[in-house]
Amino acid sequence: MRNDDKLIRISNDPKFVELVSRRGRFAWILSIIMLVAYYGFILLIAFDPSFLGTPVSDGSITTFGIPVGMAIIFLSFILTGIYVVRANNEFDELNKEIVEEYSK
Amino acid sequence: MRKIFYSVGFSLLGQIAFAADAIEGQVERQPVNITAIAMFLLFVVGTLFITYWAAKRTISAKDFYAAGGNITGFQNGLAISGDYMSAASFLGISALVFASGFDGLIYSIGFLVGWPIILFLIAERLRNLGKYTFADVATYRLQQKPIRTLSAISSLMVVLIYLIAQMVGAGKLIQLLFGLDYSYAVTGVGVLMILYVTFGGMLATTWVQIIKAILLLSGASFMAFMVLRMYGFSFEELFNAAVNVHKNGAAIMAPGGFISSPIDAISLGLALMLGTAGLPHILMRFFTVSDAKEARKSVLYATGFIGYFYILTFVIGFGAIVLVSTNTEFLDPSGGILGGNNMSAVHLAKAVGGDVFLGFISAVAFATILAVVSGLTLAGASAVSHDLYANVLKDGQSDERNEIRVSKMTTIVLGFVAVGLGILFEKQNIAYMVGLAFAIAASANFPVLFLSMYWRGLTTRGALFGGAIGLFISVLLVILGPIVWVDILGNSNPIFPSVYPAVYSITLAFVATWFFSVTDKSSSVKDEKAKFERQFVRSMTGIGIDGPSSH
pLDDT tens digits, one per residue of B387-410: 999 999 988 888 888 999 999 999
Q: Which residue has the higher pLDDT, B224 or A48?
A: B224
Query: Which of B243, B264, B300 to mutate to test binding with chain A, by most A CBs within 10 Å of its CB?
Result: B300
B415-440 pLDDT per residue, tens? 999 999 999 988 777 767 888 899 99
Number of domains forming the structure of chain B: 1
Q: Is residue B7 scored above 60 in pLDDT?
A: no
- Split at pLDDT 50, 70, 90, the class of B14 is very low
Q: What is the pLDDT of residue B16?
A: 42
Q: Is residue B450 part of a domain?
A: no
Nearest to B306 by CA among B381, B383, B213: B213
Residue B66: half-sphere exposure toward Cβ, Cα within 13 Å? 28
Q: Which residue in chain B has the smallest CA separation from A50? A: B254
B62-B68-B73-B78 Cα dihedral, nearest 10 degrees: -90
Q: Is residue B330 scored above 60 in pLDDT?
A: yes
Q: Which residue has the higher pLDDT, B489 or B217?
A: B217
Residue B154 belongs to domain with CATH number? 1.20.1730.10
Q: Which residue has the higher pLDDT, A5 or B145?
A: B145
- Split at pLDDT 50, 70, 90, the class of A32 is very high
Please state the separation of Cα A17 from the chain's center in Å: 20
CA separation, residue B488 to residues B437, B446, B462, B492 (Å): 18, 29, 35, 11
- Could A80 and B121 be called an inter-chain contact, meaning their C-beta atoms sit closer than 8 Å? no
Q: Domain containing B44: what range?
A: 31-433
Long-range contacts (CB closer than 8 Å, 24 or more residues apart) made by B411-417: B411/B194, B411/B197, B411/B198, B411/B377, B411/B378, B411/B381, B412/B194, B412/B198, B414/B159, B414/B160, B414/B163, B414/B377, B414/B380, B414/B381, B415/B190, B415/B191, B415/B193, B415/B194, B415/B377, B416/B190, B417/B160
DSSP character at residue B71? B
Kindly state whether A39 is in contact with chain B, defined as any CB-CB distance less than 8 angstroms. yes
Q: Which residue in chain B has the smallest CA separation from A74? A: B307
Sign of torsion over alpha carbons A43, A46, A47, A48:
positive
Q: What is the pLDDT of residue B530?
A: 87
Nearest to B52 by CA among B210, B196, B207, B212: B196
| Average pLDDT of the segment spanning B171-191 | 86
- Split at pLDDT 50, 70, 90, the class of B9 is very low
- Split at pLDDT 50, 70, 90, the class of B550 is low
B342-353 pLDDT per residue, tens? 888 989 999 999
DSSP character at residue B148? H
- Split at pLDDT 50, 70, 90, the class of A12 is confident
With 0-12 / 13-18 / 19 or more C-beta atoms within 10 angstroms meaning exposed / middle / buried, residue B527 is exposed
Q: What is the pLDDT of residue B6?
A: 33
Task: Return mean pLDDT, chain B.
Answer: 87
Q: Is residue B15 scored above 60 in pLDDT?
A: no
Q: How far apart are CA B111 and CA B269, in angstroms?
A: 8
The fraction of chain B above a pLDDT of 90, given in percent, is 56
CA separation, residue A94 to residues A28, A97, A99, B226 (Å): 19, 5, 9, 48
Q: Is residue B2 part of a domain?
A: no
ipTM confidence score: 0.94
- Could A46 and B259 be called an inter-chain contact, meaning their C-beta atoms sit closer than 8 Å? yes
Our CA-based measurement puts residue B72 at a distance from the nearest CA of chain A, in whole angstroms, of 14
Least confident of B15-24, B49-58, B434-443: B15-24
Residues of A in contact with B541 (CB under 8 A): 10, 16, 95, 98-99
Q: Is residue B509 part of a domain?
A: no
- Could A8 and B533 be called an inter-chain contact, meaning their C-beta atoms sit closer than 8 Å? yes
Q: Is residue B299 part of a domain?
A: yes
B490-535 pLDDT per residue, tens? 888 888 888 888 899 999 999 999 999 999 988 888 888 888 988 9
| CA end-to-end distance (rounded Å), chain B | 66
Q: Is residue B165 part of a domain?
A: yes
Q: Which residue in chain A has the smallest CA separation from B115? A: A76
**What is the number of H-type helices and E-type strands within chain B?**
24, 0
Q: What is the pLDDT of residue B13?
A: 37
Q: Is residue B502 part of a domain?
A: no
Q: Is residue B184 part of a domain?
A: yes
Amino acid (one-letter) located at A102: Y
Choose among A42, A73, A99: nearest Cβ to B259.
A42
Q: Is residue B535 part of a domain?
A: no
Q: What is the pLDDT of residue B26?
A: 55
DSSP character at residue A56? S
Q: Report the residue count for chain A.
A: 104
Query: Which of B108, B117, B245 to mutate to test binding with chain A, by most A CBs within 10 Å of its CB?
Result: B117
Q: How far apart are CA B105 and CA B110, in angstroms?
A: 9
